[in-house]
Amino acid sequence: MAAIPPLTIGDREFVWGSRTFLMGIVNVTPDSFSGDGVGLDVDAAIALGLRFEAEGADIIDVGGESTRPDAEPVAAEEELQRVLPVIQWLAKKTTVPVSVDTSKAEVAAAALEAGAAMVNDVWGLRRDPEMAAVVSRFGVPAVVMHNQRGRPHCEVLADIRAGLETSIALAEAAGVPRERLIVDPGFGFGWSFGHNLEILRRLPELRSLGRPLLIGTSRKSTIGAVLGLPADERLFGTAASVAIAIANGADVVRVHDVKEMLQVARLADAVVRGWSPPEEEE
């Protein structure tokens, strides 16, 4: 595969293939599946973002609406009240780019005005018809995810590839260059546990899209199903899934536990991308 050109997110250049990048999750919601404990506490969310930066996160992803299957929808006004104070503060006080995790164009636009540097849309620009135009107007990168919820299933990777190609086409039609997109196969979004494991196993097949791959397995129910553990005890299962994702071509991993997953990523990178040990003292 040809090398993917670097992408600038905020003030940082991401050189794909040089290493794996970490996206730290900050959920400003009362009903997150993961047990991360932030809830609607803005100060706690800001503190978490700062901690992630100190622990080595490359991107901080702020979301104000739970994406678990049975979550109650959140109105745009309420979502903005949750995320804007966090984004405004983190964008000023951190050196890493802040991403807004939303599928609403109104929320994305306000977040970008507040200092966010990227949009992470779990509906791949397909739920809100104005989202692609917002991304284009602000000239920022976007993560487009394939979401299988409510869609007929044919074949896992074929469905994902078709969905991502649709998202890419929507972006390009709105004036967003393909080169500004990161793709996410949507682990945990409308798939069975077996399908999710298949996504992880067959991740290399998505390299043919020619875009950086982001994957979020952190603490998800498939890990719980395999190990028989609740969300707050899935650290080691998450570590295994992150290592496998990196070995299979992931460029960005979206995680709740930045400090621990940084170690996983660095060791996986040493194996997958190569590592030269420091010179030993004589």
**Residue pLDDT, tens place only, 217-270:** 999 999 999 999 999 999 999 999 999 999 999 999 999 999 999 999 999 999
Stretch 188-205: mean pLDDT: 97
The Cα-based distances of 60 to 22, 49, 57, 135, 169 in angstroms read 9, 6, 7, 18, 27
Phi, psi angles (nearest 5°) of residue 85: -60, -35
Q: What is the CATH number of domain 21-271?
A: 3.20.20.20
220 is catalytic: yes
Per-residue confidence (pLDDT) for residue 67, from 0 to 100: 77
Per-residue confidence (pLDDT) for residue 282, from 0 to 100: 47
Percent of the chain past pLDDT 90, that is, above it, reads: 88
104 is catalytic: no
Per-residue confidence (pLDDT) for residue 276, from 0 to 100: 79
Sequence-ordered list of residues with C-beta below 8 angstroms from that of 141, at least 6 positions apart, any chain: 7, 8, 9, 117, 118, 119, 180, 181, 182
Sheet strand arrangement including 181-184: 181-184, 142-145, 118-121, 98-101, 59-63, 21-27, 252-255, 214-215
82, 83, 85, 87: which is closest to 116 by C-alpha? 87
How confident is the prediction for the chain on average, in pLDDT? 94
pLDDT of 14 over the 90 cut: yes
> Which is catalytic among the residues 220, 234, 259, 266?
220
Stretch 102-126: mean pLDDT: 98
Per-residue confidence (pLDDT) for residue 40, from 0 to 100: 76
> Which is catalytic among the residues 254, 259, 266, 273?
254
Residue type, 123: W
Per-residue confidence (pLDDT) for residue 64, from 0 to 100: 93
Q: Over the stretch 49-81, which tens digit does the pLDDT of each residue have?
A: 999 999 999 999 999 998 777 778 899 999 999
